[in-house]
Structure 1
């Protein structure tokens, strides 16, 4: 886990997909911690072995150090509940705003390293390098951003806490998750190894129904800081 400071940033994009608009200022006036990496296969296996996670995904090419994937939002919620009970700390999925704040790490560019995806910087389709459209790489494969976080761009889509809305009109500006607790469609961030670079941008967002297990979808955890 990486502890992040309170701060403000511009969320969304002025020129991206309509779902990324309007770009707006978000002020997160509290520190929080977020996983340095996506939750790994090994970590998920521990939850499954303990009875906290009912489903065990098995996909060709999965290793203990790769991000766990083929998960629904409900699966991810099972994991954070188990982890909270196991550790006595309040783990959860990050809000969408917390996720983008963490991914940007103080930058305003399309990716934390610049506006061009470059070559071999992310695990995505047509991103060059060894892992181009093959499968998720080990979670520590790619360089960390200024906050010390790895795999925020590409790899697997990451579930966040928020309900899906088609735009940011009316979105909270305090870092909190948006929507009711029982909504059907939830938000995913970060892109995946099968998606083009555009989906790996810091502002990119996607959605799936909360109970759907899809091969590109994983997550990372967050935790409040006292």
Structure 2
């Protein structure tokens, strides 16, 4: 049973609207970490609060080149410190009575969920919103890059060379040999976010439109070919070039690529 149908009632929508309205007065400070309780028990993903700011899309220093595409993140948001795990996704499958549970045989709950489509990612987020009473979403491509850069203009969050042991990829000098690693197996970036490079590709909210620039305000690009969605970050199966912060890929929204997963964001009040 799909969660959209499981929670498609007026009562469910009203409950979420009440919860979201009641919590708009909460205070969040940059660097704060939090997680929300789930109705069914346990916790949602750990989130870290990021302040608003500017950065050059694709790399560079703001003000250095007038031709640069400067993105302004105009309001703070929180992003999950890790990719969504197998353990949390398993809770979603059980709650939604999904047929996928019959073939879901990943035993290690600390691995990132992978092999899910963009549409299934959206269903998971609908469940997470209901379970917590807060509004999560996939990140926009620009939100993703802002979080991955963590104030840096370099090729990777740790420097301009891939080096050894900094992330999980085929040329990263690690022993996983194309297999995913448990989340947070490598050092976090300067803002406390793990695995933005490598491990699994991460779905974003953005539609594919090769002929236009992304919105300059940090919002997702929701025009163009929305049957195809953008992914960021590279995976354990990627080479060093593909895990650069500015690397971008795309795939049909219903595809279940074996190395595609997700992390989530939560928009915060100003």
Deviation at 1:92, TM superposition (A): 0.5
- Residue in 1 that maps onto 2:235: 192
Do residues 3 (structure 1) and 3 (structure 2) align? Answer: no
- Residue in 2 that maps onto 1:17: none
Do residues 220 (structure 1) and 263 (structure 2) align? Answer: yes
Counterparts of 1:177 and 1:125 in 2: how far apart (Å)?
30
Deviation at 1:130, TM superposition (A): 2.4
- Residue in 2 that maps onto 1:106: 151
Cα 1:186–1:26 change in 2 (3 A) is: same
Counterparts of 2:94 and 2:55 in 1: how far apart (Å)?
40
Q: Which structure: larger Rg?
A: 2
Do residues 209 (structure 1) and 252 (structure 2) align? Answer: yes
- Residue in 2 that maps onto 1:148: 192
Aligned length: 216
Do residues 116 (structure 1) and 161 (structure 2) align? Answer: yes
The answer to whether the 8 A contact 2:167-2:186 is kept is: yes
Counterparts of 1:46 and 1:73 in 2: how far apart (Å)?
18
Question: What are the ranges of 5 or more consecutive residues in structure 2 without an aligned counterpart?
Answer: 1-46, 61-66
Among 126, 135, 151, the residue aligned to 1:81: 126
Deviation at 1:108, TM superposition (A): 0.4
Counterparts of 1:189 and 1:99 in 2: how far apart (Å)?
8
Deviation at 1:138, TM superposition (A): 0.5
Question: What are the ranges of 5 or more consecutive residues in structure 1 without an aligned counterpart?
Answer: 15-21
The answer to whether the 8 A contact 1:52-1:78 is kept is: no
- Which of structures 1 and 2 has the larger relative contact order (alpha carbons within 8 angstroms, sep 6+)? 1
Cα 1:48–1:23 change in 2 (3 A) is: farther
Q: Render the CA deviation track for 1:58-108: whole Å, top value 9, x for unaligned.
A: 366x51100000010001001111000110000100100000000000000
Helix, strand or coil at the partner of 1:120 = coil
Cα 1:94–1:122 change in 2 (3 A) is: same
Do residues 67 (structure 1) and 85 (structure 2) align? Answer: no
Q: Render the CA deviation track for 1:173-202: whole Å, top value 9, x for unaligned.
A: 000000239811000000000110111111
Do residues 29 (structure 1) and 74 (structure 2) align? Answer: yes
Matches within 5 A, 1:37-76: 37-51=82-96, 55-56=100-101, 58=104, 63-76=108-121
Q: Render the CA deviation track for 1:119-168: whole Å, top value 9, x for unaligned.
A: 0111001110222x33110001010001100010000000000001226x
Counterparts of 1:38 and 1:119 in 2: how far apart (Å)?
21
> Which of structure 1's runs of 4+ aligned residues deviate more than 3 A?
52-60
